[in-house]
Structure 1
Amino acid sequence: MTEIDIPLLDIGAFRAGTAEERRAFARRMDAALQSSGFLLIAGHGMDAELMGRVRAGASRFFGLPVEQKAEIATRVAGRGWLPVGGEANSFYGEDSDPARADMKESLTQGRNFSTGDDEVDAEWFAENAWPAQVPELPALADELARQAREVYYDLLRASALALGLEEEWFVDRAQASPHTFNINRYPPLTEVGAALEGQYRVGPHTDWGTYTLLDRQPGYGGLQVQTLDGDWVDAPYEAGALTINVGDLLARWVGDRWRSTRHRVQAPQTDAPTEELISLIFFMEVDMDLEISPLVPGTDYPPVVCADYFRQRAAAATVS
């Protein structure tokens, strides 16, 4: 099996470390992001009990009748419920057969924030659509998202150190940024049936933005990462650790020094026909009015405004 460099790093040690220890963390992170685009992060400080409570609330929502969930139905990149078959991550640049849409359902929310610009806020900080049947979920999810942003800011600080920038360089450009919090449910085989050829719980794709923070559950139908030579390997799992990966916009920003790596979530497996998994996923971004040009030589990407880029990607992933 092809090996892939996805190390387990302790971001708690980075937070408490000396200047040289922080630079050493950044160097190791830099090496992994060049090789695989993925990390495992321990010592992150996100509350495991809180994660469990969010999962429990989300499970109550996902267990509701379809007509009740549909009360907060949304589109890709919107806020609310996206049903099984409502999104196809492989659509971007690949075959767009709606029959092979992703075998998942999602409850999607965003950052509670206001820039003071009504037009910007309406698009990127719209009101969240929470299920009335699970009244405790908004406060739980908001607190978990707040904790995730603290981890994100430390990843940005380490990123800046790795590139020889002032430590707050990226953080300063993410103060008015949105984020998306997806709670993904991967239904069991007994519910959705066997996958079609080339169909997955989440199809092969790269993420769109800066960093993705993932708290996942291990399983037969879990996360796989594509290696440099094109093989697919199971992503390593460490209990309590977050899985981190680079998105396309960050890769573009650093001139492809770091990999935005294709990954997928396998279809339900016959070895575990009743397996049901729930992932907590934070897609972290920078300010939407930023114009992104490569910081590191090596590519000739033209400048792109973040907001324009995300509109294009959301349209491409929508099943219609």
Structure 2
Amino acid sequence: MTRDRSPATPVTPAASETPAAPETPAIPVIDLGPWLSGEPEARARTAATVDAALRTAGFLLVTGHGVDPELRTEIRELARGFFRLPAATKEPYAVKVGGRGWLGPGAEANAYAEGTATPPDLKESLSFAADLPTGDPVVDAEWFLPNTWPGEIPGLRPAVETYLRAMRTLSDQLLALLGAALGESDDYFARHTAHPTYGFNINWYPGRDTIGEPQPGQFRIGPHTDFGTVTVLDRQTGKGGLQVFTDEGGWADAPYAPDALTVNIGDLMARWSGGRWCSGRHRVLPPPADAPAEELMSLVYFYECDPGTDVRGVDSHTYLRDRLDAITAG
């Protein structure tokens, strides 16, 4: 699977980069129930389907994950209360990319990671990350600092911490499945997550009625691939929503199912597979002109691995830090 990462002049989504009538990429729905059942034939079928999908788009839809939909709704409602606060109230929580707190307008431009100059992404984020210390002061100071919890929204912390526990469990299940899909043991990847790093973003995509007219080439999130092992996304559908790129079909709207979580692999996992699988390239379209009040919110869990893991000759966290720095705007 080849990728064109060369710098390019930004184009709007209506320009030549987007097919007039895109075909949906081959992104299957994977029910984790048969895999978790332990039945050998069911596990083998699931692993084969996953392998095929990760060789094309790098994306899956996953059901049978056991993550409470009411918890996801609660987090959105709580986070919306924060995002709707005045900018002056949010400003004390402001951080740069990779920090724990509020990423305000103009903080991030994901297309920078591809070497493409674009305006900053049209979003705000509440960002959290792994916070359980390892005992190594150098590692902890970079990767396991305490999270910042907005005092104005006291219910957010317990809801997010419950969600993060569910995401950790699910991500390790997915890594076991990926090990089998690659023809290895279930712990081929999972044995490198004894004390892993992760990031969690609550991304708020306000409508044009809030942010005004997008600049040329400006997206809610610009084209990019994720950086880690697996990303687990709980998203909402909309006209200005997620698109996925394949070499065969170009850009196309990602399929959506209300009860499914969207899963894609990142650069480290693509490298770990020896290039067999592709890191899922994607973007989030700008807020649509014909639905100016459309507001979407995504819960995005970026799973990684233990600090210092060797991924085919690359230090995992040296790579991660470089990529986080690369998408920092301003």
SS at match of 1:41: strand
Match of 1:153 among 152, 166, 172: 172
- Is residue 217–residue 279 contact of structure 1 (8 Å, CA) maintained in 2? yes
2:201 alignment partner in structure 1: 182
1:307 alignment partner in structure 2: 317
CA apart distance, 1:221: 0.3
The letter for the 1-side match of 2:239 is Y
2:233 alignment partner in structure 1: 214
SS at match of 1:113: coil
1:269-288 correspondence to structure 2 within 5 Å: 269-288=288-307
Give the distance between the partners of 1:13 and 1:166, measured in 2 at CA.
Answer: 18
- Is residue 12–residue 45 contact of structure 1 (8 Å, CA) maintained in 2? no
1:1-320 correspondence to structure 2 within 5 Å: 1-97=22-118, 100-229=119-248, 231-293=250-312, 303-320=313-330
Give the distance between the partners of 2:60 and 2:277, measured in 1 at CA.
Answer: 12
CA apart distance, 1:172: 1.1
- Is residue 13–residue 43 contact of structure 1 (8 Å, CA) maintained in 2? no
1:299 alignment partner in structure 2: none
Give the distance between the partners of 1:174 and 1:122, measured in 2 at CA.
Answer: 19
Any idea what the Cα deviations from partners look like across 1:131-158, whole Å, max 9, x if unmatched?
A: 0001111111011011011111111111
Q: If the length of structure 2 is used for normalisation, what is the TM-score? A: 0.91
CA apart distance, 1:227: 1.7
CA apart distance, 1:13: 2.4
Moved more, 190-199 or 231-240: 190-199
Q: If the length of structure 1 is used for normalisation, what is the TM-score? A: 0.94
Change (3 A) 1:135 1:3: closer
Give the distance between the partners of 1:57 and 1:8, measured in 2 at CA.
Answer: 29
The letter for the 2-side match of 1:187 is P
Structure 1 segments of 4+ aligned residues over 2 angstroms from their partners: 93-97
Give the distance between the partners of 2:185 and 2:134, measured in 1 at CA.
Answer: 25
Any idea what the Cα deviations from partners look like across 1:113-169, whole Å, max 9, x if unmatched?
A: 121112111111111011000111111101101101111111111111112222122
CA apart distance, 1:230: 5.7
Give the distance between the partners of 1:220 and 1:199, measured in 2 at CA.
Answer: 15
CA apart distance, 1:3: 4.2
Give the distance between the partners of 1:95 and 1:38, measured in 2 at CA.
Answer: 23
Could you tell me which runs of 5 or more consecutive residues in structure 1 were left unpaired when the two chains were aligned.
294-302
Give the distance between the partners of 1:307 and 1:8, measured in 2 at CA.
Answer: 31
Moved more, 170-179 or 275-284: 170-179
Give the distance between the partners of 2:37 and 2:96, measured in 1 at CA.
Answer: 41
Moved more, 8-17 or 125-134: 8-17
Give the distance between the partners of 2:50 and 2:321, measured in 1 at CA.
Answer: 30
Q: How many positions carry a matched residue from both structures?
A: 309
SS at match of 1:184: strand
The letter for the 1-side match of 2:323 is R
Change (3 A) 1:237 1:23: same
1:298 alignment partner in structure 2: none
Give the distance between the partners of 2:317 and 2:24, measured in 1 at CA.
Answer: 36
Change (3 A) 1:198 1:230: farther
Identity of aligned residues (%): 45
Q: CA RMSD in A?
A: 1.2
Give the distance between the partners of 1:201 and 1:4, measured in 2 at CA.
Answer: 21
